[in-house]
Structure 1
Amino acid sequence: MAHLQPPMTMMDFFRKSEGIWFTQRAVHHFDLTADESGESNLFVTVIEKDDPRVEKVCAQQGIDPANATGGATFHWQPVLDFSEPNPNYAAVLIDIPNRDNNSRGKMIRDRGYVEGIPVVSRYDFAPDGVLTIETDYDNNQGQERCWFITDDFRVRVSNVRMMNGVNLIAYCSERRCVTPEMLAQMTQQNLARAF
């Protein structure tokens, strides 16, 4: 079994995350908000730095797109929902790494997870590959940590702090969905081992 090589830059993280993920999430609210626990599919697509969306999202935040290394698009849908994606459950994320240390930097988004407004987050990869993302919204602060257990299984934990304290804590486990191409490749590898 190959040893996991965790991503240590945001673009490596986006590339390792590309594909469709089955997400199971448990959410604990500290107020009377409805339970948001459940299952969904997360779709991740890498975009390169010459993609027009990079310049568009950078312009929203007044950031020079020359500092961007690329990004990714994310969208969430209920499991087995094949309808057109809901833009309220989608985001474009752009990587702006620090010049002296590309394991940390800023990630800019056209819309945040907690408040649907353009936001700038700070990120940092620990030496063991755990990614920490800190985001300041108008009325909230969010922190998310994410790490790969294997190439096809990862974990995310997050919390949102309102001005009066912690509002919610969430735990997500995510498994990569197998595409027909991946299945064909695995079949060929298993057939090769049999002979």
Structure 2
Amino acid sequence: MDIVSFVETLAGKWFSQRTTHYLASQTSKAGQSNLMMEVLPATDASLVQVCAAQGQDPAHIACGLKVDQDSRMDGDTRNTQRTTVMVMLQPTAEGKGILLQSTPQAPVIQGEYGLDNAVLTLTTQTPDGTVQERLWFANPNLRMRTSVFKVGDTEQMASFCSEIRLGGAPAQG
């Protein structure tokens, strides 16, 4: 499976159930999200704009994804809403490539992705530390996602999500 095929499997409306564990305080929180994921063609103006912000050649775009997220952690009184545009540039022969992410609240962040045995790994450096996220499918309509946030070599937070496709795109396979 290549990156374009994998990203195409992400399309649709998803319900996400998340547990986040904060390692320093040994506390956990649960949360839920509704996600709408739309695959964008390589020629989409928003993808070209994200590339321009990072000085990347839009001719190297492999695919893109727009993610609309509406989330709430247990105990919060308000939902968090965010839109993220993700651009995957053409991968190397090993299946690794540059990942660009943009939200209206933050400048474009550059990271990397790798696709190995139908598991997508996203690694992003932020001003606060490194986030590594892994996504894979248990079946076409059930997706698993983990993330780990590190400061230096110390893991600060870990989360696990199970995500169920609610519609919006045909199930594969």
Indicate the TM-score class for this superposition, using the shorter chain for normalisation. 0.7 to 0.9
1:118 lines up with 2:111 in the alignment: no
1:54 aligned residue? 47
Structure of greater Rg: 1
Counterpart contact for 1:130–1:146, Cα < 8 Å: yes
CA, structure 1 residues 62+34, in 2 after alignment: closer, same or farther (shift >3 Å)?
Answer: farther
2:18 is aligned to 25
1:185 alignment partner in structure 2? none
Matches within 5 A, 1:25-44: 25-31=18-24, 36-44=29-37
Task: Say if 1:111 and 1:119, in contact at 8 Å, map to a contact too.
Answer: no
- Contact (CA 8 Å) 1:60, 1:110: kept in 2 or not? no
Q: Which amino acid aligns with 1:107?
A: L
More displaced 10-residue stretch of structure 1: 29-38 or 136-145: 29-38
How far off its partner does 1:145 sit? 0.9
Summarize the Cα distance change of 1:139–1:74 in structure 2 as closer, same or farther, 3 Å threshold: same
- Give the structure 2 partner of residue 68 of structure 1: 61
- Alpha carbons of 1:164 and 1:106: their partners in 2 closer, same or farther (altered >3 Å)? closer
Contact 2:40/2:63 (<8 A) preserved: yes
| 8 Å contact from structure 2 (residues 6, 118) kept in 1 | no
Aligned residue pairs, count: 164
Query: Which of the two has greater strand per residue?
Result: 2
SS of match in other structure, 1:90: strand
Indicate how the Cα distance of structure 1 residues 16 and 140 shifts in structure 2: closer, same or farther if over 3 A, else same.
Answer: same
In structure 1, give the amino acid aligned to 2:99.
Answer: M
Mapping of residues 121-136 of structure 1, within 5 Å: 121-126=111-116, 128-136=117-125
Is 2:11–2:37's contact at 8 Å kept on the other side of the alignment?
A: yes
Residue 33 (structure 1) shift = 10
State the distance in 2 between where 1:173 and 1:22 align: 8
Which amino acid letter does the alignment assign opposite residue 87 of structure 2? I
Label 1:89 to 1:11 Cα distance change in 2 as closer, same or farther (>3 A): same
Question: Within 2, Cα distance between the matches of 1:170 and 1:72?
Answer: 22
Instruction: Give the one of 98, 105, 116 matched to 1:106.
Output: 98
Q: Which has the higher helix share?
A: 1
Deviates more, 1:52-61 or 1:9-18: 9-18
Question: Moved runs in structure 1, 4+ residues, more than 3 A?
Answer: 31-36
Residue 103 of structure 1 and its aligned partner are, at CA, apart by: 2.4
Percentage of identical aligned residues: 26
SS at match of 1:37: strand
CA distance in 1, matches of 2:101, 2:47: 10
Residues 15/34 of structure 1: CA separation in 2 closer, same or farther (3 Å cut): same
Structure 1 SS opposite 2:167: coil
Structure 2: state its 5+ residue gaps: 73-78
Larger RCO, structure (CA 8 Å, separation 6 or more): 2
RMSD between superposed Cα atoms in Å: 2.7
Which letter does structure 1 place at the counterpart of 2:15?
F
